[in-house]
Every structure is written in structure tokens, then in C-alpha cells.
Amino acid sequence: MKVEEISEQEFYTFMKNYNDMYHFMHDELYYDYVKEHTKTYLLGLKEEANLIGVSLISEYPFLRSFNAMSTHSGPVIEDFTNEKLERFIKGIDDFAKSKGAVTLTFSPYTIYQMRNRDGNVIENDPKNNKEIIRIFSRNGFKHHGFTRQMIFGESIRFLSVVDISGSLDEILKNMDRTTRYNTRQSEMLPLKLKYLDESEYDRFIEIYKDTEARLGFDEIPESRIKAQLKSLQDKSYIVLSQIDLDQYIDELTKELKELTEALKELEQKETITRGEKKRLNEQKNLVKSREKRLREAEKHRDEYGGLIDLSVGMYYYNNNEMVYLYSGSYPEHSQYLGTNFVTWEMIKKAKELGLERFNMFGITGNFHEDASDYGVFRFKQGYNASIEELPGTFSIVNRPVIYKAKTLIDKVR
């Protein structure tokens, strides 16, 4: 096996036909974007004349005229083995040295170990690959640690992935009771799914940023979000859920009238059986519930108008999976189940595309109730998502004098 620079066409062809998991930052669309903004290289792992792996590498400023390199959550390897990975790592590092890179960073999009929906390690899972830590270590790379957080400067380590290989009925059955109920309820509400175009990205970002601040997530620069929305738009669905309150109020009014009439009929009976008494109490509760919903809907219509925004989401897809990259919602409208509605619609869309993985993306890896993202974890857990733990970030310093100089300069600042 050898590592060498490859042409854009070789890269495009490889990625077009690649069917295993890979990060969006290794997508052809992302490459088309990033090459316009920074110096990039394309490396290939070849076995004889066959291209069996690719790596997109970017060069970024480090100190004055010196640069560092990053591998964009790569490399990507066909029929992955640790032997191929190690050979590719060595080749990429040799290339970085030849270009004078001060440091080289990897954040491989490769499973380290599997966890169940509750976050417990599945020790005997065949996907586990703990050797990956030793591979980087013996090649001189420093591991940034088994981080349990989501911060802008580090790659996500924990992914929540739903198996959607079965039928829609099977996917529903595998959800927990609350998620299944909310999903079915969302289909009964007058909800709408709006696909946003580039002129409406500010609307998306506004809702996302509101959610980011409310939940205390590490802030992602708006420029980066916009760049991802734009660069990946040909393989993404940027969606907004809305509810038509005029229609909802009309439906509730009609339903309440029917329930009230049925209640009056029961109340007017001279004699009533034990079963009818039970029905009477249930009917009273239904009437109270619909009256409460109607009052809330009318209040929201007075305050926000007839058609209100509920949630947004960005769903990127490739040959292997659909990824729930960004989401946001207004908590004051949570009773309308906009996020449940969009998630279910996008699961159905993923199945239409022939995909079997619905990747709900990052969580911190803290599975306890005091976690900052515990609500996000529980929402994803409700879909029976398994947890794929990635190994994290590795870096190597190839020019220690320059690296130390920058460290000293940063301390002075």
C-alpha cells in the first residue's frame, strides 16, 4: 500500500461510490466549498493501482509564515481495517512533514466502542475498535482525551444513531411509549413542513441560535453555520415546522361541540350503569382537555398570528446515512410537537432515499440527569438510538521549536 496525491476526479468518483460512514466534512460538496477558502490537498491510499482510501487535508495558519494541517474527520477507507488505517496515518504524516506543517490533527469518524440506548458500553460488540487509540499513540500522536462535552474546538465524540432498516411500523414500535405517542399525535395536528431556501437561512439561524443560548451549548459562529447550510444544500433538507392555528382552532371547536353534546346525552339519562358512569367521567375529562387546548390555541393566535413557527432542522444525507446536523425550537410552542413531527417526516424521507441509518448526531456523553444536554439525550433516546462513541482527536507536533514559540507567544498575550 502507498499514499500519494490524487486528482479531484479520483476523489469525486471514490466518494460517489463510497457506502460506509463518513463525516459531512469529507463530502465532495464540502470539499468544493473549503478549497475556495483555504489550501487543500487530496491524498489517496492505493493498493497496487486500486484507490482504497481518500483523505481531504486543509492547511491553516499557525504562526507567521508557518502552517498546520487538519484531516477533516478523515481518512475514509474502503473495507476498513486497522492495518489500512495505520498505513494511511503514516503516509499522511509524512506528507504533512514534507509540506512543513507544524502540527497535524486527526478526528477520525470511526467507531471506538458501541453503547446501548442508556449509554452503557456493549463490551462484546463487533464494531468496537479500542486498538485505534494504540495505533495513533505508537505513531507519535497525542490523544486529546476521552472528552464528554460538545465544544467548538473539539470534534463530537458521541453519536445517537437510529436503525431505520425495518418498516415504519417497526421503527414506531421500537420507540419508547412517550415518543411513539407524541409521534402519532403530531400526525393528527394541522402541522406543515416548509423547506427553506437560501433566502430564508436567517430564519433558520434565528431559531437555532435561540435554542443554542437557552440550552447553554458551545456557541457555533453564525458564519460557519451559514457556510454549511450553503455548501451542503444540494444534499440537505433545511426544514421549518409550522402549525396552522386557524385550522387547529376550527378543528378543536368542532371536536369540543361533539364532545359536549355527547356529554349532555350521558348527563340527561335518568339511570346510569357503572360502565356509563365511567364513560361520563372520561367524557368530562375530554371536554376539559379540549377546552384547555382551545383557550391556549386562541391565546397563541392572538399573540403570534394564525401560522406560527415551531422548529427548524438541517438534515444532511449521503450514501450511508441521514444526519440531523442542527435543530432548534421554541419551547413556548412545545405542546404542538413540531420537533417530533419533523423528525418522523425526515425518517420517512431517509427511508425513501434507501438509507438504513438515521444519525441524530452529537450528545456530550454525560448520561446523567445533571448533564447540560440531558433533555437532548432523552429526546434521542426515545427513538431507541444506539450510541456510537468515536475515539476523539489526535495531534502530532512535527516542528516542536515553532510550536513552543507559539505557545510562549499565546501565554504573553
13-65: per-residue pLDDT in tens? Answer: 999 999 999 999 999 999 999 999 999 999 999 999 999 999 999 999 999 89
Three-state DSSP state, 240: strand
Cα(102)–Cα(120) distance, integer angstroms? 38
Burial (CB < 10 A; 0-12, 13-18, 19+), residue 310, is: buried
Question: If you average pLDDT over residues 135-152, what whole number do you get?
Answer: 88
- For the chain, give the mean pLDDT: 94
> Who contacts 311 (Cβ-Cβ below 8 Å, separation ≥6)?
207, 240, 241, 327, 328, 329, 330, 338, 339, 342
Cα(20)–Cα(278) distance, integer angstroms? 56
At CA 118, angle to CA 387 and CA 374, rounded to 5?
90
* pLDDT exceeds 90 at position 276: no
* pLDDT exceeds 80 at position 216: no
The most confident of the ranges 81-85, 262-266, 269-273 is 81-85
Q: Which grid coordinates belong to 406?
A: 507559539
Is pTM beyond 0.95? Reply is no
Report CA-CA distances (Å) from 369 to 67, 76, 192, 377, 387.
Answer: 42, 36, 33, 10, 17
Three-state DSSP state, 157: coil
Nearest to 186 by CA among 60, 339, 315: 339
Question: If you average pLDDT over residues 171-185, what whole number do you get?
Answer: 97
Residue-level pLDDT at 394: 97
- The number of residues making up the chain comes to 413
Nearest to 47 by CA among 95, 90, 103, 87: 87
* pLDDT exceeds 90 at position 96: yes
Q: Which grid coordinates belong to 268?
A: 340527561
| 263, HSE (Cβ side, Cα atoms, 13 Å) | 14
Q: Which grid coordinates belong to 96?
A: 504533512
Residue-level pLDDT at 413: 64
Q: Which grid coordinates belong to 241?
A: 415546522
Q: Is the peptide bond before 75 cis (omega within 30 degrees of 0)?
A: yes
Q: Does domain 160-241+309-389 have CATH number 3.40.140.10?
A: no
Residue-level pLDDT at 152: 52
**What is the percent of the chain where pLDDT is above 70?**
99
Nearest to 391 by CA among 84, 83, 82: 82
Domain 2-109+128-144+391-412, second-level architecture: 3-Layer(aba) Sandwich (3.40)
Helices (H), 126-244: 131-138, 168-174, 177-188, 201-215, 222-231
Q: How confident is the model at residue 100 (pLDDT cuts 50, 70, 90)?
A: very high
- Under a CB-based contact definition with an 8 Å cutoff, are residues 382 and 85 in contact? no
Q: How confident is the model at residue 150 (pLDDT cuts 50, 70, 90)?
A: low
Question: End-to-end alpha-carbon separation of the chain, Å?
Answer: 45
* pLDDT exceeds 70 at position 258: yes
Cα(121)–Cα(107) distance, integer angstroms? 21
370-409 pLDDT per residue, tens = 888 899 999 999 999 999 999 999 999 999 999 999 888 8
Cα(75)–Cα(53) distance, integer angstroms? 7
Q: Which of 87-91, 98-102, 202-206, 270-274 has the lowest mean pLDDT?
A: 270-274
Q: How confident is the model at residue 154 (pLDDT cuts 50, 70, 90)?
A: low
